[in-house]
Amino acid sequence: MTQIQPLHATTVARFGPDGWRAVMLLGPSGAGKSDLGLRLIGRGWRLVSDDYTRVWASQGALYATAPVQIAGRIEARGVGIVSVETRLIARVVLTVACVPEAVERLPEPQTRRFEGVDLPLFALDPRLPSAPDMVDAALLTL
């Protein structure tokens, strides 16, 4: 098991037929990672980590957790830092690049490698009202 420096990502997890599965929301500060994370949490997802996520690979899978200093808290822009229900560790199965523009309707599949593990990657404008639905739909395709 190896561990790298924290990634600039918000990670949220959902329980399903295969157990807990997480999605890492990637993007620069102000991209909408926390906002999309809050909307997913409002739909029953759990916060793993906001803004910075520690990841490591084990047996061909990628896992995520929060740095101790920020565990259990997420930024609600304009409101402040709030405590939410969390999941301490989760297996990451999908990554979402938060982008500020419209994306292709039918893009070619992409992946991104973390610690030797390739994960599906798709781009999404997190400000869209349908963004949480799109994350749900992408997770269902895996």
Domains of the chain, start order: 2-140 (3.40.50.300)
CA distances from 102 to 19, 49, 85, 128 (A): 32, 26, 31, 9
C-alpha radius of gyration, the chain, whole number: 14
Element (H, E) at 63: strand 61-65
Q: How many CB atoms lie under 10 A from the CB of residue 55?
A: 23
Predicted model pTM: 0.92
Residue 81 has pLDDT above 80, yes or no: yes
What is the pLDDT at residue 18?
A: 87
Percent of the chain with pLDDT strictly greater than 90: 78
Q: Report the pLDDT value the prediction gives residue 33, as an integer from 0 to 100.
A: 95
Span 27-69, pLDDT tens digits: 998 899 999 999 999 999 999 999 999 999 999 999 999 999 9
Q: What is the pLDDT of residue 106?
A: 80
